[in-house]
Amino acid sequence: MLGKLLSADTVSIKGNNITVLGDKFSYIDLTQDFPSVRDKEIFISSQWDESYEYDLISNLLPMIPERLYELLKIGYWGSSEIGRRGVTVQSFSNGICSLFRQDPTQINESMGLYSSDRTDNKVENKIYSFSRKVTNWGLSEINSHEAMYEQKRVNVLFVFISPRKLNEKEEGKLKGLLDRDPDYCTGVKEGWSILFTGMNEQNLVIKAGIQSRANMVKELTDSFWKEYKEHSFWFADGTVMKQL
């Protein structure tokens, strides 16, 4: 299936429907790009419904909108094109590729993002069990070195981490957190909106549920805008991110 997606003429996503069109699908050997220890991920360019403000939705991966695909090709952290519609990107713990494995139970609005590794698959209850915090999201995959550090022109990333089915133990523990941390409970059940700025101050903004870009930008403080007044910030669709 991955080979068909990479060689397709068009891949389009609207609602829950994915349409793949092509006159000829080619075989693509992925073995050299993916050693036994997976250190890369493949992203596939696709046409998204214009109503989607998100640049990445975790349960649609590896499909991403064309606007993000184009940014991944200019980033200064080891990307290369594959097939007609794909790009491989180096994977590291605080990079975009890690979002393939981001568990919605490992996110908290005030505490941040936490990672899960392969051994965590044996853990039956991941609710409110945080251990490895992931920080310093630099967004080097979607920014050129010259633009980010010389021109101070920064591409930001707007992401949605989709919810997953919880097991019985997780459902029980989450229910017990409704009064203590209602926003966490909402995020686990409804998903998380995350705005990555790539900056040291307010490196990311997290809010539970589906949010508009405007709502996320409103969470950036006056201190953020003052600290980075010499910078310009851009969404993947070419829209300037301004203080609201």
For 173-196, what is each residue's pLDDT tens digit?
999 999 999 999 999 999 999 999
Residue for token pair 């989709």 = 162
User: What is the rounded CA–CA span in Å between residue 198 and residue 220?
Assistant: 13
Alpha helices in 161-232 (DSSP H): 168-175, 182-190, 213-217, 222-227
**Using N-to-C axis directions, what is the helix angle for 168-175 and 182-190, rounded to 10°?**
150
SS3 category, 68: helix
What's the pLDDT at 32? Answer: 44
What's the pLDDT at 113? Answer: 96
- Report the predicted TM-score, pTM, of the whole model to 2 decimal places: 0.86
Residues 6+ apart with CB under 8 A from 84: 6, 7, 8, 9
Positions in the chain short of pLDDT 70: 1-38, 77-85, 117-122
Phi then psi for residue 94, to 5 deg, are: -115, 40
31: exposed, middle or buried (Cβ count in 10 Å: 0-12, 13-18, 19+): exposed
What's the pLDDT at 136? Answer: 94
What's the pLDDT at 85? Answer: 66
List, as own/partner pairs, every contact residues 61-64 make where C-beta atoms lie below 8 angstroms and the sequence separation is at least 24, other chains included.
61/99, 61/100, 62/2, 62/5, 62/86, 62/100, 63/5, 63/11, 63/13, 63/18
User: What is the rounded CA–CA span in Å between residue 11 and residue 17?
Assistant: 11
* pLDDT tens digit sequence for 1-49: 555 555 555 666 666 666 665 655 444 444 444 443 357 777 887 778 7
What's the pLDDT at 31? Answer: 44
| DSSP single-letter state for residue 66 | H
Q: Cα 187 to the chain's mean position, in Å? A: 15
Q: Are 62 and 42 in contact (CB under 8 A)?
A: yes
